[in-house]
Amino acid sequence: MEPAERLRGDGVFARHALFGMLARMVFALLSCIGPATDTAPADAASSDSARVDSAQPTDTDTALEEVCDGADNDGDGLIDEGFDEDGDGFTTCGAVWDCDDSDAFINPDAPDVCDGIDNDCSGAIDEAFDSDGDGDSACGSDCDDEDPTISGHLPEICDGLDNNCDGEADEGFDADGDGFTTCLGDCDDDNADTWPGAPEVCDGQANDCSGEALDETVDNDGDGLTICEGDCDDTEAASYAGAEEICDGVDNDCNGETDENPECYGCVTSSPYLVCSGVLTWAAAADACAVFGLHLVTINDAAENSLVASLLSETAWIGFSDLDAEGSFTWQDGSPVTFTSWSSGEPNDSNGEDCTHTNWSSPGLWNDLDCGNTEPFVCE
């Protein structure tokens, strides 16, 4: 065969081979698609759908759930979203974390203010306001921010100070309850009569913690008696058992009463009354009458009122007051009120006047007066 004829034959053969290959490809494609019908069988549709669904990517295939760890777990460009409860930009996880995620004013970027709270999550409270460096401030529980041994966070020690800021000093260190501890010089913390400067009593102890000889064996005022021998005031020579009472403001005879002689108040007897020219407040006058075994005078009728008035040359306290109940005057000795002799317009309780004196505007007329005023008085 000639070369030209061979070439033509080869070309025909190649075209036939190409057409055959294309036919086989079409047939294979039609076999995959299946018959061309309007409605695919349910199983086929479901199978196709499954093939399509399985071909689509899902969230679980491409992203993780966000957790609080300082990383962008779900790949959305945000870190720890959903874990900042107070919206201050900080969460409880991560290298810089929020120490209180319920308060937007507490976070690592917050300024520290004096409020007893760790605002900036530094682990210290009010550190910028702690002058003495004891870890507490005046806006916390430190009652003395100049002394590092004093803070509401510290235990009490025996040093004369209120270390724990509870308003008491050295509580728990005063065994006998006399107000002095051993660190404040109590030489016997089991004896409440013994403390620095305590008055000496006859008990065989150095009560004043002077470290000297027992004072009860010494006559300090030189009156010839010690406290164990009846001297009730060993600093006052005019005071001892058996001494004569004189008008000096001292219990000279050690009977527990002072100036119990009526003469000390300028009193003279006009039976049954004791008319005293010495001026005292109403309460002091009542006390003086009591020292004499008497009370401020009670006036029961007009005749007695006139008699009392005649004994006086000036105003004087009587035993009538409304100290117990405003506006309700009663007698000091509890006698019923059977007579009054108020001056016109009285009693008026001007500026809290609660006590009564007589012979105010004229003999026998009464007036209410401030009980703190000083007046002569009448006892009976």
CA distance readout (Å), 276 to 95, 242, 244, 260, 367: 90, 27, 22, 13, 19
Q: How would residue 31 be classed by pLDDT, with cut points 50, 70 and 90?
A: low
Inform me whether the pLDDT recorded for 337 exceeds 50: yes
Inform me whether the pLDDT recorded for 61 exceeds 80: no
Percent of the chain with pLDDT over 70: 82
> How far, in Å, CA of 280 to CA of 287, rounded?
10
For 194-222, what is the mean pLDDT? 79
Residues 245-269: tens digit of each pLDDT: 898 889 999 988 888 889 999 999 9
pLDDT at 313: 93
pLDDT at 172: 86
Contact of 114 with 138, CB cutoff 8 Å = yes
Q: Which residue has the higher pLDDT, 313 or 140?
A: 313
Q: What is the CATH number of domain 262-379?
A: 3.10.100.10
Residues 127-181: tens digit of each pLDDT: 778 888 888 888 878 899 889 999 998 999 999 899 999 998 888 899 999 989 9
**Which segment, 42-56, 103-117, 243-257, 292-306, is predicted with the most confidence on average?**
292-306
Radius of gyration of the chain (CA): 54
Contact of 228 with 217, CB cutoff 8 Å = yes
Inform me whether the pLDDT recorded for 26 exceeds 50: no
Residue 358, φ and ψ in degrees, nearest 5 = -110, 170
Q: Tokens 């004499």 belong to which residue? A: 292
Inform me whether the pLDDT recorded for 98 exceeds 60: yes
> How far, in Å, CA of 192 to CA of 195, rounded?
7
Percent of the chain with pLDDT over 90: 44
Tally of CA atoms within 13 A in the half-sphere of 115 that contains its CB: 9
